[in-house]
Chains A and B, each alone.
Chain A
Amino acid sequence: MIVGVSFLVGASASGYEKRDGKKIFVYGERQAAPNIDPSQYYDWSTRMLQQSLYDALLKYVGNPPKLIPWLAKSRKKSADGKKWTFELVRNAKFHNGDPVTAQAVKWSFERTLTIKKGPAWMLMDFLDKDGIRVIDDHTIEFNLKSPYAAFEMALPWWYIMNPKVVMANAKGDDYGQEWMKSNSAGSGPFRQKRWEHGVLYELEAVEDYWKGWENPKHINGFIYKIIRESSSLRMALEKGEVDGISGLSPEDYDAVIKNPNIYVTNDPGWTTFGLKMNTQKGYTKDINIRKAICYAFDYPSMIKIYNGNATLEDSPFPKGMKGHIPVPNVYRQDMKKAKEYLAKAGYPNGGFELEYVYVSGLEEERLIGLVLLDNLAQLGIKLKMVPLVWPNMVARGSKVETSPDLIAVFTTPIMDDPDVVAIQYHKVSWGKYYGSHFYQNEKTWEMIEKARFTVDWPTRRKLYEEIQTQIMEDVPELFGMLFNRRWAFRKHVKGFVFSPMRFTSEIDIYPLYIED
């Protein structure tokens, strides 16, 4: 019967999709992007679509990431670091043909600051609506409340919207929020074509994109197809139903690479993996126990779990990030030292149990837990492994009383500035998933604050060196590894450019092209 049906209908073949002779790139991914309003929401899937539909003043490209001019052709910072002036390109236009002006930039920033959702947190402490001033049609000035060294680093995630289009679709005082969930008003290289919620999103290239196209063979369209099961994703790629995917297990990547029609990219990323330890409650409150754990752990096993596609962390900051230093005397397995610290804590033979919480279904985190379980057993410490779904894990880590002894966390910095990582060890991050260690050290906090508001880079760099060393010494976390970011593409897909500033599975569609 199955064979009968298949003959009747004829199953689809491999190869890239075409419509009217135009080449369409199909990207398969698990996560939907149900709200594409740049002022309301961002996550990696949403940002991938936003980046295609909208432009920002600046853009991150490449590895190491470079902040290049985009809608802004030049930028100027005042000596005190509080005033930023941007001169806009003159030929940029929105999809409906309206010019991108300084007024549109001002309005877009005001909208996000008023709604107070999505990326608003990045700048709301430093920028008021009144601080944005239009100098002329193509010049805009931002007057910050206090100097903020990372200001320009946040700008790639503040997309510019066409106020006329948004407000024409606004209901009451909603600032167009309802309409903007599924519609766009941008100037980006792609415009919306087909929007089937929960199924796929299709975008078509803007042939006369104001910035032009780097490659004449650029893709003419792009379909983001939602495929929730990783086994289905892999099959879809191998069968040619999609041209690119990510999020496979290390084993699956190593398997698909054997397919002659597929290639796999492999780049060191900035996503750090660590085990946050509750520094204010339970056994891990004692720094000696935290150190014992860090000296007991078999670090190279993490690399093995990722089939060699990872590097060990040597600092709280990811390797490659501005200001990163390899901290001296980084923790590596040394059972003698582990026992010494355990004895210092008053438990020479262990005899207690710790709780390790990880994301349910994330095999790599489970395997890392098993390694830790084995290592701690040698110290007489039992490890209780507790898999939780992400929302429950975040809830557990939000309070000192409920935060587990050890919690497995991946973190990707959103900007190329050490402040975004350093702030994770400041009191303001308590209650957030990356602040579940509830780390407390006034001296470190002071340095983080000082570095944040200092304009001069050499002074900041020195501060960040001290911050990294101090955090490592206080050991609120077992600093694990940085796993390589990988994507699998059909061989006809060219032009992929990796940037560690892009989240999880996010790719920049603009430079892609298809070649037979």
Chain B
Amino acid sequence: MKRYFLKRFLSIIITLIGLSVIVFMVSRVAPGDPAKLAAGPDATEEMVQIIQKEFRLDDPLPVQYISYMRGLLRGDFGRSIRTRHQVQEDIRLFLPATFELVFFSIAFAIAFGILFGILSAVYKDTWIDHGARVFSVTGVAVPMFWLGIMLQLLLAAKFHLLPIGGRLDTMILPPTTITRFFLMDSLITGNWVVFKNALSHIFLPAFVLSFPALASITRINRAEMLEVLHKDFILNERAQGISERLIIAKYALKNALIPTLTMIGLRYGWMLGGTILVETVFDWPGIGNYAVGAAVYSDFQPVMAVTIILGLNFMIANLFVDLGYGVLDPRVRYE
């Protein structure tokens, strides 16, 4: 187990280095002079050179890369050339919003995806199963940004049931900072006004972000449940007179969960990537929105930081999924 963990840890480090080289090179070979853009359309050559010097863009590429990596090791992602803000400070500000959205979405997708998968398998070929199938095909096929805008139009603009975007209403102040998750912080401090408001704001973006994951989890859980429910050991449980509910919840579901867990891990990574679209549509102040805002100005430090953070999260999620196999299936050995 220890050896396996060490191997995985090393592979994460190597992948991260590879990722850092790629994002660094892409940022440097991309067309456009970030210093020129940051200096403004009317800036003189001297003004552009001042910015180049300040951000060491006139250093040779290997020197720039080494300096960037040194910073990364200290957790320093550099400074945004456009805003002059320290990127790690911005990340500290925006990352919790993204995690809050992703955690809420993945919890939603897992809870309802597994439930719909079970119901679909148990009530195979009934209207419940057909309904779940339509739902899951739609979930995979419909683009997130389209679904987001349609739901905004219908539920926010037309029927005024939910807010259009943002994390809180304009006039509502954020709760006292503890975890930086507004729902959590408002719960801890008993600030119900903020809690209710934050819940109303997270609901639509979380639903949209979770939709493809929910659909995939439903499909895969249904298929696995169907397979497991026809296995001999389930027949044996039934013959022993164990209740159907217990068979489904305890024996069938646990065995069906291994492929579902893989899907959850993959979907978590995709969800982090999906936040870029969803956060833009719903003005959710997370790192996706932050990266988009920076990318349109060729402001590469924030984009590089967000790419590395998302990549690292994806790798960690995969590691947890692999470790989770062992918990669900004792036959799994780590070497």
Taking Cβ atoms with an 8 Å cutoff, the residues of A that contact B are: 2-3, 5-6, 8-13, 17, 19, 24, 26, 32, 34-35, 40-43, 116-118, 120-122, 124-125, 177-178, 181, 194, 196-200, 223, 225-229, 231-232, 235-236, 238-239, 241-242, 389-392, 394-396, 398, 414, 432-434
Q: Is B169's beta carbon under 8 Å from chain A?
A: yes
Q: Say whether A199 contacts B280, CB under 8 Å.
A: no
Tell me the minimal C-beta distance from A247 to chain B in angstroms.
Answer: 14
Q: Is B157's beta carbon under 8 Å from chain A?
A: yes
Q: Say whether A232 contacts B281, CB under 8 Å.
A: yes
Q: Say whether A177 contacts B84, CB under 8 Å.
A: yes
Q: Say whether A8 contacts B162, CB under 8 Å.
A: no
A394 with B162: in contact, given A198-B290, A235-B157 (CB under 8 Å)?
Answer: no
Contacts of B157 in A (CB 8 A): 235, 238-239
Taking Cβ atoms with an 8 Å cutoff, the residues of B that contact A are: 30-34, 36-37, 39-44, 46-47, 50-51, 80, 82-85, 90, 93-94, 149, 152-153, 155-157, 160-167, 169-171, 173-174, 196-197, 199-200, 203-204, 207, 280-283, 285, 289-290, 292-293, 296-298
What is the CA–CA distance of A312 and B44 in the complex, to the nearest angstrom? 31
4 nearest CB pairs, A to B: A9-B200, A6-B161, A34-B83, A391-B32
| A-B contact list, 6 entries, CB within 8 Å | A117-B51, A120-B47, A121-B40, A235-B164, A238-B157, A394-B32
Q: Say whether A241 contacts B164, CB under 8 Å.
A: yes
Q: Say whether B160 contacts A197, CB under 8 Å.
A: no
What is the CA–CA distance of A287 and B202 in the complex, to the nearest angstrom? 58
What is the CA–CA distance of A200 and B172 in the complex, to the nearest angstrom? 12
What is the CA–CA distance of A165 and B199 in the complex, to the nearest angstrom? 41
A117 with B50: in contact, given A11-B163, A235-B153, A238-B157 (CB under 8 Å)?
Answer: yes
User: Nearest B residue to A429 by beta-carbon distance?
Assistant: B42
Q: Which residue of the partner chain, among A122, A200, A223, A389, contacts B296 with CB atoms under 8 Å? A: A389
Q: Say whether B44 contacts A121, CB under 8 Å.
A: yes
User: Nearest A residue to B169 by beta-carbon distance?
Assistant: A12
What is the CA–CA distance of A13 and B169 in the complex, to the nearest angstrom? 11
Q: Say whether A17 contacts B200, CB under 8 Å.
A: no
Q: Say whether A232 contacts B296, CB under 8 Å.
A: no
Contacts of A120 in B (CB 8 A): 47
Contacts of B204 in A (CB 8 A): 2
Tell me the minimal C-beta distance from B299 to chain A in angstroms.
Answer: 9
Q: Say whether A8 contacts B199, CB under 8 Å.
A: yes
Tell me the minimal C-beta distance from B293 to chain A in angstroms.
Answer: 6
Contacts of A228 in B (CB 8 A): 280, 283, 289, 292-293
Contacts of B42 in A (CB 8 A): 121-122, 414, 432
Q: Say whether B199 contacts A5, CB under 8 Å.
A: yes
What is the CA–CA distance of A43 and B163 in the complex, to the nearest angstrom? 30
Q: Which residue of the partner chain, among A121, A200, A391, contacts B298 with CB atoms under 8 Å? A: A391
Interface centre among A34, A41, A238, A239 (most CB of B within 10 A): A34
Q: Which residue of the partner chain, among B30, B152, B162, B207, contacts A11 with CB atoms under 8 Å? A: B162
Q: Say whether A9 contacts B199, CB under 8 Å.
A: yes
Contacts of A241 in B (CB 8 A): 163-164, 170
A40 with B280: in contact, given A8-B196, A198-B293 (CB under 8 Å)?
Answer: no
Contacts of A181 in B (CB 8 A): 83-85
Interface centre among A177, A232, A389 (most CB of B within 10 A): A232
Q: Say whether A121 contacts B47, CB under 8 Å.
A: yes
Q: Which residue of the partner chain, among A5, A35, A232, contacts B83 with CB atoms under 8 Å? A: A35
What is the CA–CA distance of A223 and B90 in the complex, to the nearest angstrom? 21
A236 with B167: in contact, given A6-B200, A8-B196 (CB under 8 Å)?
Answer: no
Q: Say whether B289 contacts A117, CB under 8 Å.
A: no
Contacts of B32 in A (CB 8 A): 391-392, 394-395
Tell me the minimal C-beta distance from A387 to chain B in angstroms.
Answer: 14
Q: Say whether B170 contacts A40, CB under 8 Å.
A: no
What is the CA–CA distance of A129 and B93 in the complex, to the nearest angstrom? 39
What is the CA–CA distance of A248 and B30 in the complex, to the nearest angstrom? 30
Q: Say whether A236 contacts B164, CB under 8 Å.
A: yes
A116 with B90: in contact, given A9-B200, A235-B152, A391-B297 (CB under 8 Å)?
Answer: no
User: Nearest A residue to B298 by beta-carbon distance?
Assistant: A391
Tell me the minimal C-beta distance from B19 to chain A in angstroms.
Answer: 23
Q: Say whether A26 contacts B160, CB under 8 Å.
A: no
Q: Which residue of the partner chain, among A2, A13, A242, contacts B162 with CB atoms under 8 Å? A: A2
Contacts of A231 in B (CB 8 A): 149, 152-153
Tell me the minimal C-beta distance from B183 to chain A in angstroms.
Answer: 12
Extra pairs beyond A117-B51, A391-B37 (13, CB < 8 Å): A9-B200, A34-B80, A35-B82, A116-B46, A121-B47, A198-B94, A198-B289, A228-B280, A232-B164, A232-B165, A235-B156, A236-B164, A239-B164
Q: Say whether B200 contacts A199, CB under 8 Å.
A: no
Tell me the minimal C-beta distance from A280 to chain B in angstroms.
Answer: 20
User: Nearest B residue to A223 by beta-carbon distance?
Assistant: B170
Contacts of A121 in B (CB 8 A): 40, 42-44, 47
